[in-house]
Amino acid sequence: MALDIFICVLGWVIIACHTWALKHHFNMPVIPNGVRLISTLVIISAAILSFLCFYLEQPTSAQIVGLIFLSFSFVLFWVTIRESSKAKLLAAFDEKLPHGLLKTGPYSYVRHPFYTSYLIQWVGWGIAAWTIWAIVPILFMTVTYWVAARDEENKFSKTEMADDYKQYISSTGRFFPKIKF
C-alpha cells in the first residue's frame, strides 16, 4: 500500500509540475483548445491509473520499475525546462509559428523531450499499475502527444527554419533517440 501511495503521489506531483509549466514556462497568453483537451485527458488518465494502483494488487518489482520510470520522467522534464528556459516556447496547438529551434541538451537527442518525459511518466505509471487496462490511458496520451508533435513539426515547414529542421529531423528521433548503426 505504501508503494501505491508513493507512485500515485509522484504521478500527481509530476502532473502539477506540467501544470506549472503551462502557466510559467510556455509562452501562452491564451490557452489553446488543444491544451484544454490534453489537460482533460491527463486528469482522466491519472485518475484511471490511480484507481488501478489502489484497486489491484501489483508485484513489487513492477512498482519499483514504474517508480524508476516516473523518476526518470521527472528528471527529464526539469532538465528540459532548464534547457528551454530562455526560448519562450509555444504551447501545444498554439496557432503561432515557431520562432526558434533548440538543438542542445535533451533536444540534441529528441525533438520533443517534454512529450518524451510525459510518455515515460504514463508508461511508468502503467507498469506500476500492472494491468492490461493501464494500456488505455497510455494509448490515449501517446496518440495525443503524437498529434501535437506532428502539428508542431508541420509548422516548422512554414518558417525560414524549414531546411534546418529537415536536417535536425534526420539526426534526432521524435520522442526517442535515433539508433545509429
Give CA torsion, residues 47, 22, 31, 97, to 10 deg: -130
Question: How far apart are alpha carbons 80 and 23 in whole angstroms?
Answer: 16
Question: How far apart are alpha carbons 70 and 74 in whole angstroms?
Answer: 6
Q: What is the DSSP string of 3-47?
A: HHHHHHHHHHHHHHHHHHHHHHTSB-SS--HHHHHHHHHHHHHHH
**Are the C-beta atoms of 68 and 124 separated by less than 8 Å?**
yes
**Are the C-beta atoms of 86 and 26 separated by less than 8 Å?**
no
β-partners of residue 27 are 90
**Are the C-beta atoms of 37 and 91 separated by less than 8 Å?**
no
pLDDT value of position 74:
98
pLDDT along the chain (181 residues), means of 10: 94 96 89 92 96 94 98 98 93 92 96 98 97 96 96 95 96 92 69
- Residues 6 or more apart in contact with residue 151 via CB below 8 angstroms: 34, 92, 93
Question: How far apart are alpha carbons 112 and 65 in whole angstroms?
Answer: 23
Q: E strands along the chain, which residues?
A: none
pLDDT value of position 29:
83
Question: How far apart are alpha carbons 9 and 32 in whole angstroms?
Answer: 28
Question: How far apart are alpha carbons 132 and 120 in whole angstroms?
Answer: 17
| Fold of the domain spanning 2-91+100-171 | Four Helix Bundle (Hemerythrin (Met), subunit A) (1.20.120)
pLDDT value of position 1:
85
Question: How far apart are alpha carbons 124 and 42 in whole angstroms?
Answer: 14
- Parse the chain into domains and list their residue ranges: 2-91+100-171
pLDDT value of position 8:
96
